[in-house]
Copies of this chain bind each other. A is one copy, B any other.
């Protein structure tokens, strides 16, 4: 299966590296707009002196036709990448994207979603948004875990992550080292957003279960402040400074909470895990000890979804509408 990576940033490069390891998948092209990358062998961007024969090309010269699937990793906001998706569709390629808003675009981006869906159906290709979260841990997996339930009242998903064990950009993203006042200002300015995609995850769950919920709320991220000095990638963070944050969201029906998601990432988390609790018949209490590594997980879910997207019926689908992705040989 021939696959083009569209977007050669950190995630696109990791996807390219993963594709080069797969027996059944072929890295067939690499697309970016960054002048500094154009014309370079993507191998060089992965490790020094590596050669793959795949050269980074601008979108207009992109070898999209002939590709069964494009893995698009250029943005989190759907409006910003609609034209890129349309170009892939027009070239006859299926599209798997890490765009968070694409994981469930039928609410916040209803009109764009309808346009993409129509275009994809006309051209006979599939478009799906995925990743570790949104796309798997807080939506597709909880949906799968309701399979042994006769009824479900509420779904609670909790991720606990130690940010000090992650990349520096991630630690910065959660406010590590800021004063609580600096953190508050960055929330107000939008420089810190907390986890993106919680509302999309809740909407994906609700759609998959046939739930019509009437309110989706997302609290502003709350800072977690060091009670004692904490070691991080930024050195020691003193007591009283921020070491990370908690993102929380809830979905209700008639005032009753039906879905609650919370994502905690700070440098003093002792025990990392990803947990799904289903209040239902029977109740389900599931946990992945140690959690799933976010970057590896997103690359893997995305690559593993490609084969499913190619085989799926045409249109703009969600992860709950595809046979579950599994590790691709």
Whether A209 touches B292, Cβ cut-off 8 Å, given contacts A148-B132, A282-B297, A286-B287, is no
A-B contact pairs, 16 of them (CB 8 A): A24-B210, A136-B148, A143-B324, A147-B301, A147-B327, A148-B297, A149-B300, A150-B299, A151-B327, A152-B327, A210-B329, A282-B296, A282-B297, A284-B288, A285-B289, A322-B323
Question: Is A147 within 8 A of B209, CB to CB?
Answer: no
Among A293, A300, A303, chain B packs the most CB atoms within 10 A around the CB of A300
Closest to A291 in B: B282
Question: Is A320 within 8 A of B323, CB to CB?
Answer: yes
Q: Kindly supply a per-residue 1/0 record for chain A positions 41-80, scoring 1 wherever the CB is within 8 Å of any chain B CB and 0 otherwise.
A: 0000000000000000000000000000000000000000
Question: Is A320 within 8 A of B327, CB to CB?
Answer: no
Choose among B151, B282, B285 the residue that contacts A293 (Cβ–Cβ < 8 A).
Answer: B282
Question: How many identical subunits does the complex contain?
Answer: 2
Whether A209 touches B327, Cβ cut-off 8 Å, given contacts A141-B144, A148-B132, is yes
Cα(A146)–Cα(B150), bound, Å: 25
Cα(A18)–Cα(B303), bound, Å: 38
* Residues in B neighbouring A145, C-beta threshold 8 A: 141
* Residues in B neighbouring A140, C-beta threshold 8 A: 144, 147, 324
Cα(A211)–Cα(B328), bound, Å: 10
Interface residues of A in 146-203 (CB under 8 A from B): 146-152
Q: Confirm or deny: A304 has a beta carbon within 8 angstroms of a beta carbon on chain B.
A: yes
Question: Is A147 within 8 A of B24, CB to CB?
Answer: no
* Residues in B neighbouring A215, C-beta threshold 8 A: none
Question: Is B18 within 8 A of A150, CB to CB?
Answer: yes
